[in-house]
Structure 1
Amino acid sequence: MIKIYYSSKSTIGKQTYSYVNASFKELLAIDVVKTNVTGTQWKEMAEHLKMTIGDLIDKEHPIYIENYDKDADLDEHGWIKVLDNHPEVLNFPIVILGNLFLQIKNPSDIEKHLDPNSAGINERKKI
Structure 2
Amino acid sequence: MKTHPAEILLYYNPQSVRARKVLALARGIAANVKEVEYHKTPLTATMWYQLLAMLNLRPKDLLNKSKSYYQENIKGRDFDAEGWLHILMKNPDLIKAPIAVRGSKAILCNNPNDILQLQ
TM bracket, shorter-chain basis: 0.7 to 0.9
1: CA distance between counterparts of 2:17 and 2:78? 27
1: CA distance between counterparts of 2:69 and 2:17? 16
Among candidates 78, 83, 92, match of residue 97 of structure 2: 92
| Residue 12 (1) aligns with residue 18 (2) | yes
Is the radius of gyration larger for structure 1 or structure 2? 1
Show the counterpart of 2:3: none
User: Could you say what the CA RMSD is over the residues aligned between the two structures, in angstroms?
Assistant: 1.8
Counterpart amino acid of residue 89 in structure 2: D
Among candidates 40, 50, 55, match of residue 56 of structure 2: 50
TM-score using structure 2 length: 0.81
The number of residue pairs the alignment matches comes to 113
What's the % identity of the aligned pairs? Answer: 26
Higher helix fraction: Structure 1 or Structure 2? Answer: 2
Counterpart amino acid of residue 68 in structure 2: P
Q: Tell me, yes or no, if the aligned pair for 1:46 and 1:56 is still in contact at 8 Å.
A: no
Report the CA distance between 1:108 and its aligned residue. Answer: 2.1
Structure with more contact order per residue of length (Cα contacts < 8 Å, sep ≥ 6):
2
Q: Which runs of 5+ in 1 are unaligned?
A: 115-127
Counterpart amino acid of residue 78 in structure 2: D
